[in-house]
């Protein structure tokens, strides 16, 4: 069967349409879609590029801030001793007595067990196994004391003047009309941190001659005891 020119042209037209559809489906449309995807990615990359450029422009400022934060952190850690033993808590009071020119006298000391407060993990970049753990502990202590009025004020001032981290949990003070002393208790928490890499330096205990009844009391205290009161001494009399 022979096809006429009209049929041939119709078939050619249909083939052209099919080819056009195929070209659109498998060539033009994917290219268009890919172009749109690339355009979106390019816009996103352009935004990120602008962000990085803005950050890079502030690089010196950020590095300065990071250095300042690191210095603040190191200064903060310096305020925490790396350990706490019984002698540290005893000598803290002894040093406080000396700082107050004998206006304080220790009657009793009670120490509670050490308590862990916080555990902080510092991850090392690229090495999770090499992470450093900082353990914060508190060492509760209760001092029973006698003091003059100036000694009481000096006791509080001394605590807040120290760099090492300590906190006053409570103070009780009552005036004794018979002795003229202020008597009470001081509850404190002393803090220390393990994991900073520092070595613990125990409190220095000065040498004491054999036979000294109370080696932790400062000399020349003005706080009077009951036995001295019975002997007729006045509250403001110094004793060796």
Check which CATH number belongs to the domain holding 194 and give it. 3.30.70.60
Residues 182 and 220 in one domain: yes
In a domain, 67, yes or no: no
Residues 37 and 146 in one domain: no
| pLDDT at residue 183 tops 50 | yes
Q: Which helix (H) or strand (E) holds 142?
A: strand 127-147
Please give the pLDDT value at position 8: 64
In a domain, 94, yes or no: yes
Mean pLDDT, residues 134-147: 91
| pLDDT at residue 240 tops 70 | no
| pLDDT at residue 18 tops 70 | no
Please give the pLDDT value at position 222: 44
In a domain, 193, yes or no: yes
Rounded Cα–Cα distance for residues 173 and 184 (Å): 4
Residues 22 and 123 in one domain: no
In a domain, 103, yes or no: yes
Taking the CA atoms of the chain, what radius of gyration do you get in angstroms?
Answer: 40
Please give the pLDDT value at position 143: 94
In a domain, 210, yes or no: no
Q: Report whether 109 contacts 92 (CB < 8 A).
A: no
Give the range among 1-5, 28-32, 119-123, 235-239 with minimum mean pLDDT: 235-239
Residue bearing tokens 């305020």: 79
In a domain, 169, yes or no: yes
Residues 33 and 134 in one domain: no
pLDDT in tens, 93-140: 988 988 988 788 989 999 988 888 877 666 545 445 556 788 889 999
Residue 22 vs residue 50, higher pLDDT: 50
Residues 164 and 48 in one domain: no
Q: Report whether 171 contacts 185 (CB < 8 A).
A: yes
Residues 103 and 14 in one domain: no
Q: Which residues fall within 8 angstroms of residue 229, CB to CB, at 6 or more apart? A: 178, 179, 235
Rounded Cα–Cα distance for residues 72 and 16 (Å): 77
* Structural domain boundaries enclosing 92: 82-198+215-230
Percent of the chain with pLDDT over 90: 18
Compute how many other C-beta atoms are within 10 angstroms of the C-beta atom of residue 148. Answer: 23
In a domain, 66, yes or no: no
Mean pLDDT, residues 151-168: 89
| pLDDT at residue 153 tops 70 | yes
Q: Report whether 179 contacts 234 (CB < 8 A).
A: no
Residues 110 and 27 in one domain: no
Phi, psi of 159 (to 5 degrees): -60, -45
Residues 179 and 96 in one domain: yes
Residues 121 and 28 in one domain: no
pLDDT in tens, 54-89: 878 887 887 888 888 888 878 777 778 878 888 888
Residues 34 and 151 in one domain: no
Q: What is the mean pLDDT of the chain?
A: 76
Rounded Cα–Cα distance for residues 86 and 203 (Å): 10
Phi, psi of 147 (to 5 degrees): -155, 160
pLDDT band at 175 (very low <50, low <70, confident <90, very high): very high
| pLDDT at residue 213 tops 60 | no
Rounded Cα–Cα distance for residues 61 and 205 (Å): 47
Q: What DSSP letter does each residue of 198-233 carry, written as one string?
A: PPP-PPP-----TT-S-TTSPSS--PPPHHHHHTT-
Residues 143 and 219 in one domain: yes
CA atoms within 13 A on the CB side of 190: 26
Which pTM value belongs to this model?
A: 0.57
Residue 11 vs residue 154, higher pLDDT: 154
pLDDT band at 158 (very low <50, low <70, confident <90, very high): very high
* The token pair that represents 72 in the structure block: 């603040």
Residue 194 vs residue 208, higher pLDDT: 194
Q: Report whether 134 contacts 196 (CB < 8 A).
A: yes
In a domain, 63, yes or no: no
How many structural domains compose the chain?
2
Residues 186 and 87 in one domain: yes
């Amino acid at each position: 069967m022979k096809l006429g020119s009209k049929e041939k042209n119709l078939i050619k037209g249909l083939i052209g349409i099919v080819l056009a559809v195929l070209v659109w489906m498998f060539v033009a449309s994917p290219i268009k879609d890919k172009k749109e995807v690339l355009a979106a990615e390019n816009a996103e990359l352009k935004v990120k590029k602008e962000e990085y450029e803005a950050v890079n422009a502030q690089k010196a400022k950020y590095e300065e801030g990071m250095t300042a934060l690191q210095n603040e952190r190191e200064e903060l850690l310096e305020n925490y001793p790396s350990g706490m033993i019984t002698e540290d808590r005893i000598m803290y009071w002894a040093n406080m007595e000396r700082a107050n020119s004998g206006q304080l006298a220790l009657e009793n000391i009670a120490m509670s067990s050490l308590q862990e407060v916080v555990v902080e993990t510092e991850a090392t970049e690229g090495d999770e196994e090499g992470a450093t753990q900082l353990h914060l502990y508190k060492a509760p202590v209760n001092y029973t004391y006698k003091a003059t009025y100036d000694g009481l004020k000096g006791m509080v001032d001394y605590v807040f003047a120290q760099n090492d981290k300590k906190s006053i949990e409570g103070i009780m003070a009552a005036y004794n009309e018979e002795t003229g002393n202020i008597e009470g208790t001081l509850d404190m928490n002393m803090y220390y941190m393990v994991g900073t890499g520092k070595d613990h330096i125990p409190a220095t205990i000065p040498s004491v001659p054999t036979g000294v009844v109370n080696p932790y009391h400062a000399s020349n205290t003005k706080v009077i005891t009951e036995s001295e009161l019975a002997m007729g001494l006045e509250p403001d009399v110094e004793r060796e």
